[in-house]
A and B are shown apart, each in its own frame.
Chain A
Amino acid sequence: MNIAHWMKKEKSGLAFTTLELVQAEEQQGHGVCLREPTDAIGMPGALLYGNPDTPSDVECIHTQMPLTSYHTPIPKFMWMHGEPLSSVGNGISMKAVIDMASRVDAFIAMREEELPIWRSMKRTYLVPKGIDLQRFRPIDVKPYAEHDPTTKLDGEPAVLYCEHWRGQRNPLYLIVAMQKVWQRFPKARLHLFNCTNDKMYQTFKALIAHNKWWTFLRTINGPVEDADVNRLYNRAHIVVSCLYPLYARSIEALGAGKAFLGPGYTDPAYPYHCQLDPDSMADAICKIWEEYGSFDFRQWAERKHDVNETVRQSVAIYERYL
């Protein structure tokens, strides 16, 4: 099958997820073409990857599609990367979804919790949220050594936050939770990465100083290089997301064989859950640490979050429309 993807080139979870889908499709023998949706006048944008000359059997929309795709008979599927409430909240995304809804054949969602919302607008299929398990995998990391960023992060447990910091998406509740964790496990340490906003950085620097959080909070850094993201997961014991009601890229930690905790991650078969509440998060982190080693997170990722399975199921959906 030849699959075309329309994706805006930007550094976002949406883009990373799309690239994983494209890679897995190619590995499964499909033809792929990845383009920016539009140029300045709404025509197809720049080719990003793949072969533009082979006619596509299906088109996948990840942000927008060009005007030239509006009236073609090629089946079209809109991947629902964003969380519905945020899509309304940002003032743009939900309107774009609705503008496109009548032009596509179906939506494809990756979180069961969102199905009622997306299905209120369009026929919606559910596929598992997959990650690249070849890229996100366990690797050996040397024991912690001060000032050596290639070694394990300091702490027992070493807790990592590396979601994108934006507005209400920030580690405030996690830091408060870590106060409680630290009281129970005095060697517990928290490491914050991926802070790219200077105002956010200054706010948290002030909070850390005022609240004396430096007793357990040892890192507040910017992003790591793309090639080092898997190593970063492997340097920690527990990776925590503060997103709710969704979860995002931090599930990559499961691929690295590390514990993942997020208030938006509600799979009942997963042993560790929390609410977006410092006490609840603290209790869950303590539980994970007490039971550390008893649950195989990598195996869970292989069962639940293999992008190859995502592609197999999505291709099966596409085939119904050919």
Chain B
Amino acid sequence: MSYATLADLRSNLGGQSGLTPEYVAKMMHDVPRTTVVDRTVFVLQQVAGKRVLEFGASGALHDGIVKAAATAHGVDRESTSDGRVEGFDLDDPMQAALPISDRPPQIIVCGETLEHLSNPGWFLHRLKAQFAGIPVVLTVPNAFGKAATGHINAGKENVNIDHVCWYSYTTLKCLLSRAGYTITAFHWYGGEPYTAEGLIVVAV
């Protein structure tokens, strides 16, 4: 834009440079200021004493959820012999309905799960349809994390071979909103704001 006086221009230096208002509106997005939390501690605080449905139920976080929750029904690619984790392929197009526990869950956890799915939008639509109103805790690796971007100048990608995408706050929010979810809490985990290892959101 053209300024009427040089004083006006001087006062407005530092705004977006070289970008049209249309470009800024479409492409430039503020990331909310928020704190960095411990991923495990945050998730366990959310599930403590509740009936939990957990997707991607494996590893240390799953073990913690089993201990902290009132009941925990897990879903993963492979079932476990103790019956706590049900085997289910979230990407299987023939499986219209998601697994469901005996009693409706009070909270759902998807820890580092979305980035593995071929069709995360379809998963979230089914989740919203079957468990409307139940809060979902999601954690995903940060597309702009130092770990994610730190090796690319040397011609190497630092990414799990099973992942199919990266999420930022904006892309995660967009995906969730398309499935009817609204983010009610947002934090970083591992590192510092904006360049942390990952994002944690609670969506309803």
Contact = CB atoms under 8 A, between A and B. Distances in A.
Contacts of B2: 46-50
Contacts of A48: 1-3, 9
B15 interface: yes
Contact of B15 (A9, A16, A34, A45): A9
Nearest to A45: B18
Interface string A42-62: 000111111000000000000
A159 to B, nearest CB: 26
A22 B13 CA distance: 15
A63 to B, nearest CB: 10
A9 B15 CA distance: 7
Given A10-B17, A36-B17, A45-B18, A226 B23 contact: no
Contact of A39 (B6, B9, B20): B20
A314 B18 CA distance: 27
A46 B3 CA distance: 11
Contacts of B9: 9, 19, 34, 48-49
A45 to B, nearest CB: 5
B11 A226 contact: yes
Interface residues of A, number: 24
Contact of B18 (A8, A22, A49): A8
Interface in B130-145: none
Contacts, number: 53
A11 interface: yes
Among A11, A45, A48, chain B packs the most CB atoms within 10 A around the CB of A48
A184 B111 CA distance: 62
Interface string B3-25: 10110011111110111100100
A36 B6 contact: no
B18 A11 contact: no
A301 B23 CA distance: 43
A93 to B, nearest CB: 16
A15 interface: yes
Contacts of A16: 10, 13
A38 B20 CA distance: 11
Contact of B3 (A23, A37, A49): A49
A247 to B, nearest CB: 21
A32 B53 CA distance: 67
B11 A46 contact: no
A12 B19 CA distance: 18
A19 B6 CA distance: 7
A226 B5 CA distance: 14
Interface of B: 1-3, 5-6, 9-15, 17-20, 23
Interface of A: 8-12, 15-16, 19, 22-23, 34, 36-40, 45-50, 226-227
12 contacts: A8-B18, A9-B12, A10-B13, A11-B14, A40-B18, A40-B23, A45-B18, A46-B2, A48-B2, A50-B2, A226-B10, A227-B11
Given A9-B18, A40-B18, A49-B2, 10 more contacts: A8-B17, A8-B18, A9-B13, A11-B13, A15-B13, A16-B10, A19-B10, A37-B18, A46-B18, A48-B9
